Amino acid sequence: MSSDGHAALFRGQRRGVLIPLSSPSGAGKTTLSKRLLAQNPDIVLSVSTTTRQPRPGEQHGVDYYFTDEATFMQQVEEGAFFEWAKVFDHYYGTPKAPVMEAIEEGRDVVFDIDWQGAQAIAEQAAEDTVRVFILPPSLALLEDRLKKRGQDSSEIIDGRMARAKSEIEHWSEYDYVIVNDDFARALEKLNLILHAERWKRSRHPWLDGFVQALMDE
């Protein structure tokens, strides 16, 4: 045995962590996930496929892969989606191949997704998934942020607030819940969760061989 022990021989790739990140809209999830990605080169953002039309400013391959219903259904048949759902009038799906590759190659995947999508991902890959929910410090603050976003009518704002409340109702299904009252602290918590989860035993399958070699000395 070399002076480094067995580690050099056995230390291998960890499995990537799947992180569905949910929150009511306006709670800061998008900014948080962008900063998390900028700070961690081993994380990728999952880009979903959808049959809805792009909104102004949205880019194919960045915000979504935009497609038609026939193509979407063909991809469903082929088993191309990790999970998929119909939300309102359109179909949404998480492409499977990039997720599986990331897990095997030790890269983590963040999903900007609502509670139903988060639940589907957790069902598909329970061991690999860590669900994180972002809460606003108050609903009044959330309403303020939604109002500042544009010149939406009060009906639209009311609709968004109702949707925000129905999303928050699912908070207890998540492994971690972060109250975003201070952006820097919320980002730090998200980083701590990710870094601890990376060390979970089940994400280091090479340990089996390493410990076996230790015991055989």
Q: By the criterion CB under 6 A, which residues form the site for ligand 5GP?
A: 48, 52, 83, 85, 87, 92-94, 113-114, 116-117, 120
> Closest distance between ligand 5GP and the C-beta of residue 106, in Å?
23
Closer residue to ligand 5GP in complex, CB, 39/166:
166
> Closest distance between ligand 5GP and the C-beta of residue 85, in Å?
4
Asked if residues 68 and 93 have their Cβ atoms less than 8 Å apart, the reply is no
Cα Rg for the chain, rounded, in angstroms?
Answer: 20
Tell me the backbone φ, ψ of residue 52, rounded to 5 degrees: -80, 165
> Closest distance between ligand 5GP and the C-beta of residue 70, in Å?
18
**Euclidean distance between the first and the last CA atom of the chain, given in angstroms as a whole number:** 9
Asked if residues 196 and 175 have their Cβ atoms less than 8 Å apart, the reply is no
Closer residue to ligand 5GP in complex, CB, 75/94:
94
**How many CB atoms lie under 10 A from the CB of residue 29?**
22
Closer residue to ligand 5GP in complex, CB, 48/180:
48
Which amino acid is present at 126? A
Closer residue to ligand 5GP in complex, CB, 41/56:
56
> Closest distance between ligand 5GP and the C-beta of residue 133, in Å?
13
Give Dmax over CA atoms of the chain in angstroms: 72
